[in-house]
Structure 1
Amino acid sequence: MMRNRLWGSNLGLLLLACQVFQLGIDNIPHATLATLGLNVYLFLFPAKPLLQTCLSVREAYWYRDWSRLLLSPFHHVDDMHLYFNMASLLWKGIKLERKLGGAWFAYLLSVFSLLTGLVYLLLETGLTHMTEDSSYSLQCAVGFSGVLFGLKVVNNHYHPGGATYVMELHIANRYACWVELVLIHFMNPGTSFVGHLAGILVGLLYTTGPLKRLMKTCAGFVTSNGLYGGQQTYYNSSGYSGYGMPYPPNPRYGQQSFIRRQYGAPYREPYDTAMPSAPFQHPYTAGLSEEEQYAAAVRASLNDRGSHTHGTYTQSNPTPEEIRWRRLQRFNS
């Protein structure tokens, strides 16, 4: 089997190689390129035969072979199956990784790969109980297309509007994944309808459900335990947004540096290199307006004074001149 893959026609691999070189390897972000490389490697050198990597309720749940959750997304039936999935990954990965950042996109791929399999098992189990037909628990799915359907939902969320053509039908992007789900099932009955549906549901859990908040919480927990060498990563609604600075304020950066370091104020919106028209925000302003910077400086001044004198500050409406004077006094000291 391996010799046939290496020395056969392998049209899908040739088409994929042409597409990669046409794009240029340097133009493919790192997480996307690494995921593509992993899928190609496991196609050429599979970890196990397909019948031992595909995911089903019987194999994973009844026989407790949970390793299939990790293996099934990254194995493919044939070279054309691999080509179509990886061509889709290139298009979606380039857009999303540039939007979210490499670290968050790699995190997203890992979570989606695992959750798509879990949702697939839940759906097949539900169908088995509702229809009293055990064949649903025996259906075995393999391939990356479920994850790609989830990425399509996320991509439409971050790039709203527009339309696309699906089999010469003009479809709004937000409905395209549902139309593709139905058309692919009817045009190619051998594909896993439930596996694709599972990917869409995972994408919706991220864009409209609690999944994104849960991922942020887990990422915050990991970084708070110092697993990244003291460098804390912050995420907002648009993904990766920069690093916190857990060090004392440096006078040469001034008051804005203190606000960013002391209060960990998140960015309003990260600068997107894929959208040159997006407004740039200096990393030490943290996206705060001048009034918000003043307010933060006053709070810092009051907290500092209270910690040293244990007194109470009585003036509640200081003038702008007094605020500026306090800022100078604080950072000159």
Structure 2
Amino acid sequence: MQRRQRGINVGLMLLLSQIYQVGVSNIPPVTLATLAVNIYLFLSPMKSLMEVCISVQEGYLNNDWQRLLLSPFHHADDWHLYFNMVSMLWKGTRLERRLGSVLFACIIAAFSQLIGVMYIVLEMLLAEILDEPIYKMQCAVGFSGVLFALKVLNNHYYPGGTSNVMGFHVPNKYACWIELIAIHIVSPGSSFIGHLAGILVGLLYTWGPLKKILTAFAGFLSCDGHPPRPTEFNSSGYARHSSDQNQQDYSRYTGGLNEEEQYERALRNSLNDRGGPQNDRRPYGFWIPTEGQSEQEEIRRRRLYRYDRQ
């Protein structure tokens, strides 16, 4: 399955515009490098989506473990890339300033691989428990799982507050679970298991051994044997930013929309740009359907289109 593209990638143009508005010098290096890798692989993918997506069949049974490395950094279309990278721009900047670039780089590297492993484990469990082999065939691609893990970390390091999820204010500590369900309702084609895998890996960091392991490894990579102090980046060099300033930066490049509102707008623009559900491209997704599911997906697309038109 090859990525199908329009003549103009509107989502990519919007993403580059928002990066420009924030200012490259204001984005910490690891966050900036992550954005650059994802954009580069969208413009020049190493392989087709069906050759990089991760599944039980392709990754585990066929021993194609290269997919663990490639699948998080390839995206189905420009809106998929746009939504994920805008979220990364916000979460990455905030967390990298808090944790320091060395530790944050270790987190991104570890999470991008562990989430693929967790995804395979969860799909295998579903296939065995439900006696449904189709779960071994479902193939996933995209950075969404890493973003759900970073959301868990963000709520851990910045506790308190509420998030607006589909018009309802919920405590941040529950927001990732509510959004897990809400996004699947809004876009049935997104990978519920992929997002769940991200949350579980995030919890392994905040409640399990991952934090100690990655912190120790970051210390080993540092010259003095200790992780460097967290730094703040802005156009004038290194400086601290208050949470209010972080929120102002976020509002500046998201138009004041929260993540769910950005997601719904991206879906709406994507559908409008494609002329509705009659086009066979997916509006957005982490999950790539397997052969034999086209009829079911057509029903889902029509439901999504009706939701958008209400």
Cα deviation, residue 217, structure 1: 3.7
Output one character per residue of 1:225-275: Cα deviation in whole Å (capped at 9) or x when no partner.
xxx6xx23324xxxx438xxxxxxxxxxxxxxxxxxxxxxxxxxxx98335
Match of 1:234 among 226, 238, 254: 226
Assess if the C-alpha contact under 8 Å between 1:128 and 1:137 holds in 2: yes
Q: Kindly provide the CA deviation profile for residues 73-122 of structure 1, in whole angstroms up to 9, marking residues without a partner as x.
A: 00000000000000000010110011011111111100000111111111
5 Å-filtered alignment, 1:309-320, equals none
Which residue number in structure 1 is paired with residue 78 of structure 2? 79
* Bigger relative contact order (CA 8 A; separation at least 6): 2
Q: Does 1:91 align with 2:95?
A: no
Give how far 1:206 is off: 0.4
Greater Cα offset, 210-219 or 139-148: 210-219
Q: 1:177 to 1:121 in 2, by over 3 A?
A: same
Aligned-partner SS, 2:229: strand
Any idea what SS the aligned residue of 1:209 has? coil
* 3-state DSSP of counterpart to 2:63: coil
In structure 1, what is the equivalent of residue 240 of structure 2?
273
Which structure would you say has the larger Rg?
A: 1
Q: TM-score, normalised by structure 2?
A: 0.72
Change (3 A) 1:157 1:51: same
Q: Partner of 2:51 in structure 1?
A: 52
Give yes or no for the alignment of 1:198 onto 2:180: no
Q: 1:174 to 1:127 in 2, by over 3 A?
A: same
Contact 2:111 2:149 in 1 (8 A): yes
What TM-score, normalized to structure 1? 0.67
Identity %: 55
* Distance apart, 1:164 and its partner CA: 1.4
Match of 2:34 in 1: 35
- 1:233 maps to amino acid: G
Structure 2 residue aligned with 1:102: 101
Give RMSD over aligned pairs: 2.2
5+ residue gaps, structure 1, are 243-270, 277-333
What are the residue-to-residue correspondences of 1:6-17 with 2, within 5 Å? 8-17=7-16
Does 2:59 match 1:67?
no
Decide whether the 8 Å contact of 2:103 with 2:218 is kept in 1: no
Letter in 1 for 2:229: S
Task: Give 2:130's aligned residue.
Answer: 131
Alpha-carbon distance between aligned partners in 2 of 1:164 and 1:125, rounded to the nearest angstrom: 33
1:166-217 per-position Cα deviation (integer Å, ceiling 9, x unaligned): 1111111111111110011111110000000000000010011111112234
Q: Does 1:216 align with 2:215?
A: yes
- Counterpart Cα distance in 2 of 1:233 and 1:31: 20
The 2-side partners of 1:233 and 1:46 are apart by 37
Runs of 4+ in structure 1 deviating by more than 4 angstroms, as ranges, are 1-5
Please give the alpha-carbon distance, in whole angstroms, between the structure 1 residues aligned to 2:201 and 2:240.
27
The one-letter amino acid of 1:105's match is: F
Q: Is the 8 A contact 1:98 1:272 kept in 2?
A: no
1:240-251 aligned at under 5 Å gives the runs 240-241=228-229
Aligned to 1:159: 158
- Taking the aligned partners of 2:137 and 2:197, their CA distance within structure 1 comes to 17
Deviation, 1:4, is 7.3
Q: Please give the per-residue CA displacement for 1:14-61, whole angstroms capped at 9, x wherever unaligned.
A: 110111111111111111011001000000100110000000000011
Q: How many pairs were matched up?
A: 236
CA distance in structure 2 between the partners assigned to 1:59 and 1:207 by the alignment: 30
